Structure 1
Amino acid sequence: MQYLRCCVTKKRSLSDIKVRPILDSLHYIQEHGASVVRFGDGEIDLINGRGIPYQDHDEQLARALKLILQVPSSEELVVCLPDVFQHLERYNRNAQVFWASHFERYRDFYEKECQSEWYGSTFLSRPYIDLQDKSLSDVYFSAIKGLWQGRDILIVEGETSRSGVGNDLFAGAQSVSRIVCPSHNAFANYDEIMERLLEHVEGKLVILMLGPTAKVLAYDLMKRGYQAIDLGHIDSEYEWYQMKASHKVKLAHKHTAEHNYDEQIVLQDDADYNRQVVATVGIEWEKKEEELVSQSEMISVIVPVYNVESYLRRCLDSLLKQTYTDFELVLVNDGSTDRSAEICEEYARKDVRIRVFHQENAGPSAARNHGVEQTRGRYITFVDSDDFVEDYYLYELHRALVENKADISICNFNSFNEERQSFLFSITSEMYFEKTYTVEEWLNQENTARYNLYLTFTFSPLKLFKRELFDGVYFPVGRLREDDATIYKLYLKASKIAFINQGSYYYSQRSEGLSRSGMLEDIASMISNAEERLALLATLGYDVTEHRDSYIKRLKKCQADSLRAGQIGLYRQLSTKLDLIEHYQKGE
């Protein structure tokens, strides 16, 4: 831990200690992106050798708190004190009595140790219950929420805190992740908490609700260049504010400020909360098997990369924001001639979960095969390098696979039009459902137009596979429609397939098209893939009635496409096959 040492010899009166009002403090923090350390009565007790209900006295912690208290507020760090050195009449009677008693004990301490020119208000996280005049609480909470509006936040809190659960306190955040720590004596786990923080903090605003330990964390994170805001009590205050409480009502389902012993709490299962937890420290994290998923199994995310410098960062950023964090990112650069390779290496330097492999240009099949060979995870999924995903993409695929005891889980997709820069939502939240299929039932979905299942069926992305399914299965190198030729073979090796109709994957719609020769090859691949599949399914003993019908439809479509493209030779080949099917069936 890093501490700034100052020598203090002056003494001042309590009335000389200047604390900025709540709104001024919040505006200053917002303007400068400052970190925040808030001192209250509990920290002063600890500095002076006393323990408090949720933190035993610890000499190392006490020294750290005293040194941080002496740091002058600045654009990097706002050190806060309770705004009680003048005009105690602003607070209710209980608060007035409490602070008067507190100063009887600690007046000399404040007058000697609090020498900074100004302090922020500790009450920026206590903007409601103790105030006589609550008319500005709306404004206070609006300003508080503004600190994380549109930002990715990482909450570090005690196991009973569950800040934001059951209310909309963090609804404006871009994403929410959590590290859950002991509610009592968290400082004993300080080093491990900091380790977990540094694994997850990049690009995030840190919100700390961990008692006195939060003060030291906020200071040390600030010194490392991260913004961290110590914001204990804010959740209880927000709950009381919403219920228009006139006294400190105890919350039944989570920790309540100043009800320090966490008695008679019945923690409620909350799917969003559980999904947000990316790490735990010093606690036993029990998860109900039917509702929660162990995140101890690595997913290998394979991203083939070829000349996508304009889209690659978007793809990688979306993957690094995953709430499911036990994954590796395998980037296979397929001989790119733009800046894609440099971008891959840049991201690999920033996150140890990323590994980059470079190969001569050999096409997407070779890149995927190379990626599969390099994987170390128990599960495999593919993401195309110009596409992007929601932050819960991996979590939901993994949950669906594990909960349903499936070998493959599949989700759906929406599209993003690059030319218009607009989303095209074909799958909405109202369409959500989850269903398991036998292999034969899923194979029969190939021609289902509803929910775009005929596309979802074939794409390599959108799916999480058990690693062993790839044993002996390879994408065909040098062939178009490689997904069409491969994915169904993985289905055949599965026992159960889980599908969630959730559009958590965004397919990039671009205007680039096939050349004339490429179109010929594409049409030919569509037919050869269908014929290969039909023959294999029949050999394996599957009922191929629907697949035969699908093959005939494909023949007719490709016949029309080849004629439209001026591919007369191919058109004649397809016409011959259709003529045989229509006029020379066995027994006719």
Structure 2
Amino acid sequence: MIPEISIIVPVYNVEKYLEQCLDSILAQTFKNFEVILVNDGSTDSSGEICDRYTKIDSRIMVFHKINDGVSNTRNLGVQKSKGKYVVFIDSDDYIMKNYCKILIESIEELKSDIVVCKMVREIPKKEDLNYTKQFFNRVESLIKMFQGNLYRFSLSGKIYRADIIKKYKFPKGMIHEDMGTVYKYFLEAKNIVYIDYIGYVYFHRENSILTKKYNKNRLDAFIHWKEILELTKNEPQDLVKEVYKRYLYWIVDNIFYILSIDEKRDKKLEYLLFIKKNINNIKKLFYYNKNSLKHITILFLFLVNPKLLCLTVIK
């Protein structure tokens, strides 16, 4: 039987969390799914846990490969998937028991291309099945994404039509890979549904990519931003405005992050000069953010002299 949903789980050194993740998937009230585990060269017991679960449930399959990053790991999972819809779950996260049921019912009932649910950091004491739905066209859904109030660029907490997912590969060797792909899915979609159902629980590990010490890999985001600005430049002005507002926020946030890290001045300046070099469409940044006086002032001072800005920090 062809599965309705392909659940793709990238795995790398998550032995402390993996069983809870997989148990939450096997506890789903919706049953017609496949689970694709892709072990990205784990050096702990994660690979053995994956193998053990394939013997527990025939819907689970595992692919072991050498470590070459989460993008290639997800790309392999997508390549192996057979479902009509795709769900991504990080291996240190957890889903509520009606997660798949509610997402697939919503996407089919409303003939949507993508359904987004609410994500939280702590497992709710009780699963609340009373939720509302909001229907967005592609432009409205992208505006909501860049505003970041209902949902953001996260790959998780969503169900997608598989044919949309398979049009775009995750960027090899880069972090923020969801930032480089999810907006493309939304650009491709005709309509999106947001439900305020709390179905996905995510955790921040101390040694995860985004909680590690700042390094130049974090600046991959600016490569993604170049593409975002290019692909959205001809969209309606309401959307373009939100893109540039989020872009400015990202720039300022990274400037302050770099200035606050425990790193030598030369290294901080290297990061800041990279940002300055890679800032796109400065005139549009100022134009679309003319009411954000604080952020615009910071950007202006940064563009005038990032070295002086760096020297003001004692560390």
* TM-score, scaled relative to structure 1: 0.44
1:491 maps onto 2:190 in alignment: no
| 1:538 matched residue in structure 2 | 233
Q: Is contact 1:299-1:379 (8 Å) kept?
A: yes
1:509 maps onto 2:210 in alignment: no
Secondary structure of 1:503's counterpart equals strand
Q: Is contact 2:121-2:202 (8 Å) kept?
A: yes
1:403 maps onto 2:109 in alignment: yes
User: Structure 1 544/579 Cα, relative in aligned 2: closer, same or farther at 3 Å?
Assistant: closer
Secondary structure of 2:230's counterpart equals helix
| 1:383 matched residue in structure 2 | 89
| RMSD (CA atoms) | 3.0
Deviation at 1:561, TM superposition (A): 1.4
Secondary structure of 1:544's counterpart equals helix
Aligned length: 281
| 1:525 matched residue in structure 2 | 220
Secondary structure of 1:527's counterpart equals helix
1:574 corresponds, among 264, 275, 283, to 275
1:318 maps onto 2:24 in alignment: yes
2:260 corresponds, among 561, 564, 585, to 564
User: Structure 1 366/575 Cα, relative in aligned 2: closer, same or farther at 3 Å?
Assistant: closer
Q: Is contact 2:116-2:194 (8 Å) kept?
A: yes
Deviation at 1:328, TM superposition (A): 0.5
1:464 corresponds, among 156, 159, 173, to 159
Q: 2 CA distance for matches of 1:401 and 1:368?
A: 22
- What is the one-letter code of the residue matched to 2:90? D
- Residue deviations 1:192-224 (CA, integer Å, cap 9, x gap): xxxxxxxxxxxxxxxxxxxxxxxxxxxxxxxxx
1:551 maps onto 2:238 in alignment: no
Q: 2 CA distance for matches of 1:443 and 1:583?
A: 18
Q: 1 CA distance for matches of 2:197 and 2:13?
A: 29
Secondary structure of 2:178's counterpart equals helix
User: Structure 1 346/529 Cα, relative in aligned 2: closer, same or farther at 3 Å?
Assistant: same
Map 1:217-296; keep pairs closer than 5 Å.
none
Secondary structure of 1:309's counterpart equals coil
- Residue deviations 1:269-314 (CA, integer Å, cap 9, x gap): xxxxxxxxxxxxxxxxxxxxxxxxxx98610000111111111111
- What is the one-letter code of the residue matched to 1:400? S
Deviation at 1:531, TM superposition (A): 2.5
Deviation at 1:516, TM superposition (A): 10
Q: Is contact 2:2-2:83 (8 Å) kept?
A: no
Secondary structure of 2:232's counterpart equals helix
| 1:482 matched residue in structure 2 | 177
Deviation at 1:327, TM superposition (A): 0.3
2:132 corresponds, among 420, 428, 433, to 433
Secondary structure of 1:314's counterpart equals helix
User: Structure 1 557/297 Cα, relative in aligned 2: closer, same or farther at 3 Å?
Assistant: same
Q: Is contact 1:555-1:578 (8 Å) kept?
A: no
User: Structure 1 531/300 Cα, relative in aligned 2: closer, same or farther at 3 Å?
Assistant: same
Higher relative contact order (CA 8 A, sep 6+): 2
2:48 corresponds, among 330, 342, 345, to 342
Q: Which structure shows the bigger proportion of residues in helix conformation?
A: 2
- Residue deviations 1:161-189 (CA, integer Å, cap 9, x gap): xxxxxxxxxxxxxxxxxxxxxxxxxxxxx
User: Structure 1 406/578 Cα, relative in aligned 2: closer, same or farther at 3 Å?
Assistant: closer
- What is the one-letter code of the residue matched to 2:51? E
Deviation at 1:517, TM superposition (A): 9.1
Q: 2 CA distance for matches of 1:522 and 1:428?
A: 37
Deviation at 1:575, TM superposition (A): 4.9
User: Structure 1 495/516 Cα, relative in aligned 2: closer, same or farther at 3 Å?
Assistant: closer
Deviation at 1:521, TM superposition (A): 2.7
- Give the structure with higher Rg (CA): 1
User: Structure 1 380/516 Cα, relative in aligned 2: closer, same or farther at 3 Å?
Assistant: closer
Q: Is contact 1:523-1:558 (8 Å) kept?
A: no
Identity in percent: 31
Deviation at 1:563, TM superposition (A): 2.0
Secondary structure of 2:180's counterpart equals helix
Q: 2 CA distance for matches of 1:300 and 1:514?
A: 25
- What is the one-letter code of the residue matched to 1:467? A
Deviation at 1:584, TM superposition (A): 8.2
Deviation at 1:428, TM superposition (A): 8.8
User: Structure 1 521/466 Cα, relative in aligned 2: closer, same or farther at 3 Å?
Assistant: same
User: Structure 1 330/497 Cα, relative in aligned 2: closer, same or farther at 3 Å?
Assistant: same
Deviation at 1:515, TM superposition (A): 9.2
User: Structure 1 573/367 Cα, relative in aligned 2: closer, same or farther at 3 Å?
Assistant: closer
Structure 1: any 5+ residue segments left out of the alignment? Answer: 1-294, 417-422
Q: Is contact 1:523-1:562 (8 Å) kept?
A: no
